[in-house]
Structure 1
């Protein structure tokens, strides 16, 4: 599983984002309050300076104007720095705080009207110089340091909660990975707390208990079915072989033909039973290899009786003798189901069979399949109206293809026959 999709990433990421947002919000509120407080302090300072100047001016008209490093007095608006002139020329008398704009810093200015002067005086507080000289750190630097100092303990606390919350889940996952589905204990996870993890563990134990019952029931059914189904088939097969060896049977074609059909049906039933019993097991696939061409030829010979009474030709093209890493019986089951469908649903014409390196193709000239039914052909018990079987053939083929990683392709234009292709896994 990719890390960014895990609970670990989501939990740590949530803690990190929450910390960043919380610190940013706190810094924003702090800077806002500090700005308001500083503005009020400057206004108070300016009011004090204005009061002091008016008092001195009233007693001595020749007193020097206030002039310090950060507070300066201007007699005319033309004396004010040009970048401030447009912002102050329309201000009424009093102390003003002008907020910063896109290209200008905040401005604190007092407009003073004197009774014997035609133009007001302007007292300007140079806040930018004040901050440049007295600020220990810039606001952005303060924000970065705050993020570092506060995020570090927040992440440590997050790691603590992360381990506390996810360690039980991780431990439970490891225990489940080590379980053998055929030997599931009644309490595989041990004693858990009465929290959400404990509830999850109990739910998994209940589900595993049901799975254990299903596995035992399936094993019992497989064992019983193997015995109960194979025994009568063995009896029938033996009886047919005995009857075929009788002199009367060899001399009477009317008896030989139905016995041959019975023998073919028994062989087909044995193949079907073996297929279902094998598909029902979750064991490791039986080892083995086989050549495709001989298996195809054998399947054609075993199913030729289906077209003996039909005007059907079989066109076999073998381009290569492909070798597959699969037992011969499994490949035979797959090809037999394809041939059986092609032979049964073709009244006249030709059944084309092509064995190539990457695939095998079975194509007939039968009635075809309606377009709306192609998508569900591989589902069990889905069959055409003309079929006399149980609709399991293509379902078996599909399950075998999935098991071995083969690709099953079905094309069937209505009225133009059907083409089924199996692409082998490279």
Structure 2
């Protein structure tokens, strides 16, 4: 996932908010300037209207004092564009005509007072200077905001960066012991609380991993001793006179013992962080070996086995890991198929194991790769497919499972 810098996000947030505030301030300044200018004209016209009303009352010739104001007795005497505008908006008192001319209209008891304020529009004449001033102000505000945000982010995020370095160094050097008191280096604030929580979590994880590794080693050690004894006993029995039935039972015991050894090696593999060295492995001999190890599950069943694997087919991975995958997939197919056909094919780096059994219960199909999940008729502990998933994840193998009442198909896509 692409990392996004918190400092950059804080800077952008401050700059955006400052630019927005400065823009709103500039807009409000322009609106205020225009409104103030209109109010000034309105005040002048009211004073002039009072003077003209006195002249009308004394029935003398109306002569406005303002040089840019004119008196019109009737609406028909007004300029034609203003007459047209008043027909559509009778209450309108401000007009912007062609050529940049601007007028203010004031209604009298008899007639109209019209002021041509084109030359008195101060704001219009100052628009360029006002725009330059507001843009300069915007630039200053943004720069000041960016500087303040940078200093603030640097100060606030410093302990967070320190905590990130601790996490990164621990993740990159997993063998390095974590200092038990690293959280004490942080202030008692939110980041300090986070550091304490991480410290406690890491300590618990480290203790858990240590227990798991010790448990795996102990189990592996304790199981190897009786397995060695069993192997020795089987060797002695093989050199004794045996019946045909006894020979078959001894071979089955040897196959089971070999499978236990392979399982122990695989569990040790999964407990380690590093994978064993991969090497080219012929696929067909391992499939045949797995079939021999699992053949007891087909006793008394009318099942036809179809193999479509080239003698030249090979994969690059650990042989024990591949055999465990095959044993689980082929063993499941043998166990849950009572009649019909079981097909094992390998084409274009895809291994397919398909059976004609009753399929996996619909209620557990989505969770079938989770540990402990199994069907009602299963005699196992529900760890086989979970082990398959863990091995596939270790070796970057894509896996798919499709199942219905006509059978189950598992596909493994091996990397090229």
TM-score range, shorter chain: 0.7 to 0.9
What are the within-5 Å matches in structure 2 for residues 52-63 of structure 1?
A: none
1:214 paired with 2:208, answer yes
- 3-state SS in 2 of match to 1:324: strand
What secondary structure does 1:425 align onto?
A: coil
Q: Counterpart in 1 of 2:43?
A: 44
* 2:344–2:353 Cα contact (<8 Å) kept: yes
- Preserved contact between residue 53 and residue 65 of structure 1 (Cα < 8 Å): yes
Greater shift in the superposed pair: 308-317 or 403-412: 308-317
1:419 and 2:413 are equivalent in the alignment? no
Query: Hey, what's the Cα distance between the residues in 2 that align with 1:204 and 1:190?
Result: 12
Aligned to 1:131: 122
Aligned-residue offset at 1:291: 2.4
Aligned to 2:174: 181
| In structure 2, distance between residues paired with 1:232 and 1:184 | 38
Distance 1:353 1:62, change over 3 A: closer
Shift of 1:2: 3.7
- Structure 1 unmatched ranges of 5 or more: 114-118
**TM alignment of 1:347-426, pairs within 5 A:** 347-414=338-405, 416-426=406-416
Q: Is the 8 A contact 1:316 1:353 kept in 2?
A: yes
1:60–1:421 CA distance, 2 compared to 1 (3 A): closer
Q: Aligned partners of 1:420 and 1:65: how far apart in 2? A: 100
Q: Is the 8 A contact 1:339 1:362 kept in 2?
A: yes
CA distance in 2: counterparts of 1:307 and 1:100, whole angstroms? 100
Q: Distance in 2 between matches of 1:198 and 1:191?
A: 8
Greater alpha carbon shift after TM alignment, 15-24 vs 325-334: 15-24
- The aligned residue for residue 162 of structure 1 is 153
Tell me if structure 2 keeps the 8 A contact 1:353–1:362.
Answer: yes
The CA RMSD measured in Å over matched residues stands at 3.5
Matched, 1:283 2:271: no
Distance in 2, Cα, partners of 1:297 & 1:162: 64
Distance 1:366 1:76, change over 3 A: closer
The Cα of 1:417 is off from its aligned counterpart by 2.6
Counterparts in 2 of 1:83 and 1:112: CA distance versus 1, 3 Å: same
Residue deviations 1:380-400, cap 9 Å, x none?
232333333222221111211
- On the 8 A contact 1:98/1:106 being kept in 2, the answer is no
Asked if structure 2 preserves the Cα contact closer than 8 Å seen for 1:353 and 1:360, the reply is: yes
Separation in 2 of the partners of 1:369 and 1:72? 97
| CA spacing shift, 1:367–1:132, aligned 2, 3 Å | closer
Distance 1:322 1:187, change over 3 A: farther
**TM-score, normalised via structure 1 length:** 0.83
> What SS does the aligned partner of 2:187 have?
coil
Question: Structure 2: where are the runs of 5+ without partners?
Answer: none
**Counterpart-to-counterpart distance in 2, 1:406 and 1:258:** 36
1:410 positional shift: 1.9
Other-structure match for 2:237: 243
Please say if residues 76 and 122 of structure 1, whose CA atoms lie closer than 8 Å, have aligned partners that are also in contact: no
For the 8 Å contact 1:377–1:394, the answer to whether it is kept is yes
Work out the CA distance in 1 between the residues paired with 2:389 and 2:97. Answer: 70
The 1-side partners of 2:192 and 2:102 are apart by 60
Q: Relative to 1, partners in 2 of residues 1:259 and 1:142: Cα closer, same or farther, differing over 3 Å?
A: same
What's the counterpart of residue 34 of structure 1? 33
